[in-house]
Amino acid sequence: MDRADSSEVYAVKEHVPGFLIQYKTDRNIPTNYHYHSGYEIVWLKAGKARYIFEDKVYSLKKDSILLFKSSEFHRVYLPEHTVYERVVVMFTDDFFSMQHTIMNQFQHLFESLSSPHLMWNAFIWQTDHIQPLFDALIEETNHPKRWMQQSAIEIYLLQLLLFLCREMEEREQLQPQSLKVNSSDQLSPHDNIIQAMNEIWNKDWKLDDLADKLHFNKYYLCHFFKKEFGVTVQEYILQRRMFEAMKMLHYKNLTVQQIAEYVGFQSASSFIRRFKNHVGVTPNQYRKSKRK
């Protein structure tokens, strides 16, 4: 089934500078799934938010801290009538002016995680420790002409990464191996749905079969998915297909026909038409623009 909803939604690659920090209270968020290079740290100060990845859904609340690799397919969904106060830090691998052991260890620890994202609910002593670091980073970015500003940001960011590395290391030591492998019985309904979607996104799928697998009435599944994830089942499938196709066009030397087949389209012409409709250019034009 390569049909999808006709609304203009797709996975977008966003441009992010080497370092960015934002304190925000608005509800303005990307309306589609997106990705960008580097890493992202989200500290939810108040309210609720749902972060949806390829294989996991995180429900954030006050003082939840989420760390993830930004190149992963992800989207933020906000429940109605809730505040969304947060601090967001984004940075890329090449931001630092020189090699730092802490950054190297951060990358090593992060790569050793079972999935490229991690969340925990911070205790007050932890938030008291990191609040001055976030404040200092915001203060520095607000004064771009300040003497040695780049170096100051690097120092404060390294302190933050040191804190995160210690948290990851301690969590790894404290959590028994037996608790790190989740069975389907332990997964939330959101995780079960996302994992089921991951099994069918590039296949000839049917809504009836998906609903049966999840033990949902198909009409309730559609309602639940739209309510909890902010897009329809068909929109999610299409966005995932576009996301994977763009990655393959960028990094793989496969033909358009091969990519079309891999992401679940029955013909190259159908894939090209859908890709141009949602990305704005043909697959070959997109590939050329990324390989200049």
What are the structural domain ranges in the chain?
Answer: 12-179, 187-290
Structure tokens at 23: 């304190």
Q: What is the mean pLDDT of residues 263-277?
A: 94
Distances in whole angstroms, Cα of residue 225 to Cα of each of 190, 194, 234, 241, 256: 9, 10, 10, 18, 31
For the stretch 127-170, pLDDT in tens is: 999 999 999 999 999 998 899 999 999 999 999 999 999 988 88
Residue 67 and residue 41 in contact, taking contact as beta carbons nearer than 8 Å: yes
Using alpha carbons only, what angle is made at residue 142 by residues 136 and 144, rounded to the nearest 5 degrees?
105
Q: Identify the CATH number of the domain defined by range 12-179.
A: 2.60.120.280
Predicted local confidence at residue 125, as pLDDT: 85
**Strands, E, within 81-153: which ranges?**
84-91, 117-121
Q: SS3 for 43?
A: strand
Report the CATH superfamily, name and number, of domain 187-290. Homeodomain-like (1.10.10.60)
Structure tokens at 26: 């608005």
Higher pLDDT, 267 or 113: 267
Beta bridge partners of 68: 40, 117
Predicted local confidence at residue 20, as pLDDT: 93
* 199-205: Cβ within 8 A, 24+ apart: 200/237, 201/236, 201/237, 201/240, 201/241, 201/244, 201/264, 202/240, 202/241, 202/244, 202/262, 202/263, 202/264, 203/264, 204/1, 204/2, 204/264, 204/266, 205/1, 205/237
Predicted local confidence at residue 8, as pLDDT: 43
Give residues with Cβ within 8 angstroms of 41, minimum separation 6.
65, 66, 67, 88, 89, 90, 160, 164
Higher pLDDT, 61 or 35: 61
